[in-house]
Amino acid sequence: MKIIFCSRRISQLTYLAANLLSSYDLNLSFKQQYALLKKEQDFFPGTLQWIKEDKQGNQIYALGLNRSKKIILQALMGYSFIFQRQEGFLVFDLWRFENSYLKCSWSFKRLGAISVAEKLNELGLKKAFPVLKKEIQHLREWLS
């Protein structure tokens, strides 16, 4: 199965979700999970990027979105129908886990204040972590 995590552009939130999904040990603390994250990689909206394979062989992808989220998702659905690839696709929206820390982090990053942005990003991920972990746990159960 192909699991597509969508979020604003492709942020560490996506990688965190992918790690949680593919991790053998879900009991790792936020600090331990955060240490495993790659340096943030930004992509343009619309980019579909392979991240990793989970332990059940599911392929995990990231999809960058922007304000035109609905249009991009409609297009994804349409292309999967046109090319008859609609089976085995699961889209998981991470947008709802974004909080004000993560949003501010983006703004600071744009302004070039990288260290402030990184700190805010860490705080944002920490805040989103418990709910995200719970949701990914449900996803794991559903997938198995």
Residues near other proteins (CB under 8 A): 44-50, 61, 63-68, 70-80, 82-83, 85
Tell the smallest beta-carbon distance from residue 122 to other proteins (Å). Answer: 28
Inter-residue contact 101 to 11 (CB < 8 Å): no
Tell the smallest beta-carbon distance from residue 36 to other proteins (Å). Answer: 24
Q: How many CB atoms lie within 10 A of CB 99?
A: 17
Query: Which of residues 43 and 101 has its CB atom nearest to other proteins in the complex?
Result: 43
Query: Which of residues 70 and 138 has its CB atom nearest to other proteins in the complex?
Result: 70
Query: Which of residues 24 and 44 has its CB atom nearest to other proteins in the complex?
Result: 44
Paired residues of 8 in beta bridges: 65
Tell the smallest beta-carbon distance from residue 54 to other proteins (Å). Answer: 17
Dihedral sign for Cα 12, 17, 23, 26, please.
Answer: positive
Taking the C-alpha atoms of residue 105 and residue 89, their distance in angstroms, rounded to an integer, is 31
Query: Which of residues 110 and 138 has its CB atom nearest to other proteins in the complex?
Result: 110
Interhelix angle 114-143/100-111, nearest 10 degrees: 140
Tell the smallest beta-carbon distance from residue 128 to other proteins (Å). Answer: 24
Taking the C-alpha atoms of residue 110 and residue 82, their distance in angstroms, rounded to an integer, is 37
